[in-house]
Amino acid sequence: MTPPMNDIIRRSAAAQAAALNAGEVSSEELTRAHLDRISAVDGDLNAFLHVDQDAALATARDIDSRRADGEELHALAGVPIAVKDVVVTEGQPTTAGSKILEGWIPPYDATLVTALREAGLPILGKTNMDEFAMGSSTETSAYGPTRNPWDRDRIPGGSGGGSAAAVGSYEAPLAIGTDTGGSIRQPGAVTGTVGVKPTYGSVSRYGLIAMASSLDQAGPVTRTVEDSALLHELIAGHDPHDSTSLTDPVGSFAAAARSKDVKGLRVGVIEELEGEGFAPEVSARFTESLEQLERAGAEIVRVSCPNFRYALGAYYLIMPSEASSNLAKFDGMRFGLRVIPEDHPTAENVMKATRGAGFGDEVKRRILLGTYALSAGYFDAYYGSAQKVRTLVQRDFAAAFEQVDVLASPTSPTVAFRLGEKVDDPMAMYMNDIATIPANLAGTPGISIPSGLAEDGLPAGIQFLAPARADERLYRVGGALEALLEDSWGGPLLAKAPELTSGAK
């Protein structure tokens, strides 16, 4: 007997894949169930900017018929996925949350999208995000904010709030995110979901609309650690189209996630990322999580990373500097919006009018700050100094990883704040990324998993960081802690989220 679809879409991606393999459900049914869920709740959530029902169902039917023919398929074949709208998809609109790309249909697929298509994952659509991934709340999207499934008046985090809200509300079992300063991990923390920023270069950046090329990294957004591991294995690997792509073999992430063994694992608590600025209940859930690990045989050690206090400053110099250069290509000449001013429509004036009309406030703010930081006379003091801080942050990580196997901190200093609460205060918004930014500066991997309910009954996250190329350790500790916490909660944290009873599109 077929179980109700409402039940199947709440299972993990791994369990949905098992149901497909067992013939319990077809990919077409599974994909349609997720499309139905999107229709039922996304009018409220606004997690999706574009839903491609026909393409998703066509992929699903193709996988069903290949499975019926006995073809050997990828473990996740037929399990639907949502893709952040900063990743280009051939034939499907890609806006990066900006008016300047409204209606643009990319002529090629990102390498990670090619991997998804080859593995036969139906792509449900493209998820909402802060414009060009610039933000921590999804409020800078030109297409309206995404709402948090736990409380529709709260932010879902950002920039990847759409991907996190989609998996958190059972609209999709899997999603792709990108993380430049925390855009996968912080939305995970505030929506009670799992997100991984892989080692820089683990997943190809080819086809990601770049914000800051030396910081950007795509990764998995899921409800379980094992699902992140499976998705990471699928999208990782060397890509000759990305010169910064690592040539290392892809690790056994899923096996690490399933091992559930932390005996002897040394976990370092970063002294600079606790106390002041971190909400009391967020900190309490963090401490309880560490106690769980300790009881399971891990060793908890305190470590100091003194230069992390300069990381936020370095990040808000390097990121706008790189963004000001990367976003120069949006000039109204070859693709995207073109605005022709009435007076003197020279190429230069068309560019200015196009960028003035096409970019939102935060994008303009960062381009101008980057232009300033790179300008003659200030370059050494700002960009040059920030690059030196980057070295110091890397040295802090190196020293810490001589003492411990992984580092830990709360992912985000607070639970989800209210929509509009920080939108007029750029520095307050930037502080959300205080714990996540060091990993981007150093290229090291990080995972956020739910640590429990904190202030106002809303989810908080715990973050683990590992040395570059040691992503496996994140899955090992993340999978183990997830199992320990779910035992103590009597099930996944998301089961405590309120039912979404309205919000049809």
Partner 1 sequence: MCLMPSIGRDDVARLADLARIQLTDEEIDRFAGEFDSIMDAVASVSEVATEDVPATSHPIAMTNVFREDVVENTLTQEQALAGAPDAQDGRFAVPQILGEE
Binding to partner 1 (CB under 8 A) within 382-441 occurs at 382, 384-392, 394, 426-427, 430, 440-441
Interaction of residue 356 with partner 1, rule CB under 8 A: yes
Q: Which of 504, 418, 8, 464 is nearest to 228 (CA)?
A: 464
Which lies closer to partner 1 via its Cβ, residue 294 or residue 361? Answer: 361
State in angstroms the smallest separation of the CB of 386 from partner 1. 5
Stretch that binds partner 1, among 14-22, 254-262, 278-286, 370-378 (CB under 8 A): 370-378
Detail the DSSP E strand segments found in 372-499.
406-410, 446-453, 459-465
Which lies closer to partner 1 via its Cβ, residue 319 or residue 458? Answer: 319
Of 65-84, which residues contact partner 1 (CB under 8 A)? none
State in angstroms the smallest separation of the CB of 305 from partner 1. 13
Q: 111 near 204, Cβ under 8 Å? A: yes
| Binding residues with partner 1: total (CB under 8 A) | 78
Detail the DSSP E strand segments found in 208-327.
218-222, 266-270, 299-303
Q: Which of 404, 451, 391, 474 is nearest to 197 (CA)?
A: 474
Largest CA distance in the chain: 72
For residue 163, what are the CA distances in angstroms to 82, 153, 184, 195, 405? 7, 18, 9, 10, 29
Q: Which of 5, 7, 9 is nearest to 168 (CA)?
A: 9
- DSSP label at 26? -
Which token pair is 49?
Answer: 């900017």
Interaction of residue 106 with partner 1, rule CB under 8 A: yes
Measured at the CA of 271, the angle between CA 265 and CA 272, to 5 degrees, comes to 130
Q: Which of 15, 25, 50, 104 binds partner 1 (CB under 8 A)?
A: 104
CA–CA dist 261, 283 (Å, integer): 24
Q: Which of 6, 291, 297, 381 binds partner 1 (CB under 8 A)?
A: 381
Interaction of residue 304 with partner 1, rule CB under 8 A: no
x-or-dash string of contact with partner 1, 461-490, rule CB under 8 A: -------x----------------------
State in angstroms the smallest separation of the CB of 465 from partner 1. 13
Which lies closer to partner 1 via its Cβ, residue 328 or residue 495? Answer: 328
Of 242-261, which residues contact partner 1 (CB under 8 A)? 243-244, 246
Which lies closer to partner 1 via its Cβ, residue 75 or residue 374? Answer: 374
Of 210-249, which residues contact partner 1 (CB under 8 A)? 214-215, 240, 243-244, 246
State in angstroms the smallest separation of the CB of 329 from partner 1. 12
State in angstroms the smallest separation of the CB of 487 from partner 1. 36
Of 312-351, which residues contact partner 1 (CB under 8 A)? 312-314, 316-317, 324, 328, 331-338, 340, 344-351
Q: Cβ neighbours of residue 102 under 8 Å, at least 6 residues apart? A: 95, 142, 337
Of 33-62, which residues contact partner 1 (CB under 8 A)? none
State in angstroms the smallest separation of the CB of 358 from partner 1. 9
State in angstroms the smallest separation of the CB of 278 from partner 1. 19
Q: Which of 308, 310, 401, 475 binds partner 1 (CB under 8 A)?
A: 310
CA–CA dist 111, 88 (Å, integer): 9
Which lies closer to partner 1 via its Cβ, residue 266 or residue 364? Answer: 364
CA–CA dist 48, 156 (Å, integer): 13
Q: 76 near 226, Cβ under 8 Å? A: no
Question: Looking at this protein, which amino acid is placed at residue 180?
Answer: T
Of 169-208, which residues contact partner 1 (CB under 8 A)? 199-201
- Three-state SS for 151? strand
Catalytic residues: 84, 159, 183
Which lies closer to partner 1 via its Cβ, residue 3 or residue 356? Answer: 356
State in angstroms the smallest separation of the CB of 318 from partner 1. 9
Q: Which of 307, 411, 414, 448 binds partner 1 (CB under 8 A)?
A: 307
Which lies closer to partner 1 via its Cβ, residue 51 or residue 386? Answer: 386
Interaction of residue 495 with partner 1, rule CB under 8 A: no
DSSP-assigned states of every residue in 62-96: HHHHHHHTT----TTTT--EEEETTB-BTTB---T
Interaction of residue 353 with partner 1, rule CB under 8 A: yes
Percentages helix, strand, coil for the chain (3-state, rounded to 5) are 45, 15, 40
Strand order across the beta sheet in which 406-410 lies: 48-51, 123-127, 81-84, 174-178, 218-222, 194-197, 446-453, 459-465, 406-410, 266-270, 299-303
